[in-house]
Amino acid sequence: MQPLEGVRVLDFGTLLPGPLATLILAEAGAEVIKIERPGRGDEMRSYEPKFGADSVNFALLNRGKRSIAIDLKAPGAVDRLAPLIVGADVVVEQFRPGVMDRLGLGYEVLRNINPRLIYCAITGYGQHGPRKDVAAHDLNYVAEAGMLSLAAGADGAPVPPAALVADIGGGTYPAVINILLALRNRERTGEGCKLDLAMADNLFTFLYWALGNGLAAGEWPKPGSDLVTGGSPRYNVYRSKDGKFIAAAPLEQKFWENFCDAIGLPPALRDDAPDPAATKRAVAEIIRGKSAAEWRSRFERRDVCCSVMASIEEALRDAHFAARGVFARKLVAGGETITALPVPVAEIFRPRGTEAGYPALGEANSLMK
């Protein structure tokens, strides 16, 4: 048995944070029923490019789920969903605060139907507070939590992060963690609960070192000047002779010494404490003297914490990830097959079958009365 086998999840979420959270639950064995509006469904179905009848984004995030199409504003909608609510273990929603209440599907109503229900509300700013009703996206959350201030480009201006840190790191992962905690707590108490998860709140966990430096020593980090924001030669990205990039992270002294030996850094510059900028310039000049392939060969089998930057396409062909089975699971639709979205569920908890599709809009409407 998978650990979440027998757990039923009603997913009212759209786009990324909620659907990715329920995908992780589904991969661990939960039955996930996606609640969508008739006709169009989740907005992400309409995105490009397509895979099968809908967008590949939707397909990747909703693999292995089922779909119900229902107008939540229509009279009797709650009554039609009631049998599902009675038998559900988890509800996930990511509307603005108050929307589910106005639809007659707020926590208090659902708790009266099913006291064991775990109700997870994912929002940008939480269920209360001055910003609770403000429209925003990932970039807004990282800006207001201070994270964006550390992401400087070559001209000193912040650049948008390469990953949707707030949506996934601040929304999806905390949702999964807290749902599992709530399920464990329910085993002891028999009672469900409401989870108020704010993506902006959860970004501060990623800034632990910045908070520590600032609060304890008054040394608030700046872009391009601190240990992990580009100020240290021991944690930086250097351009090679052929225009590729070397990610060098020999932070600890033993790795730094190995790195200095490997690149032939002059002894006078190996103590980077007095003038880290001078050491960084010297390292950059040395790295520019050889191609990425030459550096890869030189760093091989040395403990130097250095990598040649890969494109996403190259990473998909990486022998290490292939050996680990990262891309072994497949998404199928309309006779086509692509790699399924890897999720952080240990292999021992995954289903034996490696192929699965995604739901057509409303294919499980028979589950409603």
DSSP 3-state assignment of 121?
A: strand
At residue 9's C-alpha, the angle toward residues 337 and 364, to 5°, is: 60
Mind telling me the catalytic residues? 137, 167
Cβ count within 10 A of residue 89: 22
pLDDT at 198: 98
Q: Between 3.50.50.60, 2.40.50.100, 3.40.47.10, 3.40.50.10540, what CATH number should domain 8-199+326-367 receive?
A: 3.40.50.10540
Domain ranges of the chain: 8-199+326-367, 245-308
Cβ count within 10 A of residue 108: 9
**Among 251, 255, 253, residue whose Cα is nearest residue 226:** 251
pLDDT tens, residue by residue, 67-77 = 999 999 999 99
pLDDT tens, residue by residue, 237-293 = 999 999 999 999 999 999 999 999 999 999 999 999 999 999 999 999 999 999 999
How many residues belong to the chain?
369
156 has a pLDDT exceeding 90: no
pLDDT at 154: 64
Q: What is the mean pLDDT of the chain?
A: 95
**Among 1, 343, 353, residue whose Cα is nearest residue 176:** 343
Give, to the nearest 10 degrees, the angle between helix 276-287 and helix 253-263: 40
DSSP code of 224?
T
pLDDT at 152: 74
pLDDT tens, residue by residue, 186-225 = 999 999 999 999 999 999 999 999 999 999 999 998 888 8
Element (H, E) at 68: strand 66-69
Cβ count within 10 A of residue 134: 13
pLDDT tens, residue by residue, 8-66 = 999 999 999 999 999 999 999 999 999 999 999 999 999 999 999 999 999 999 999 99
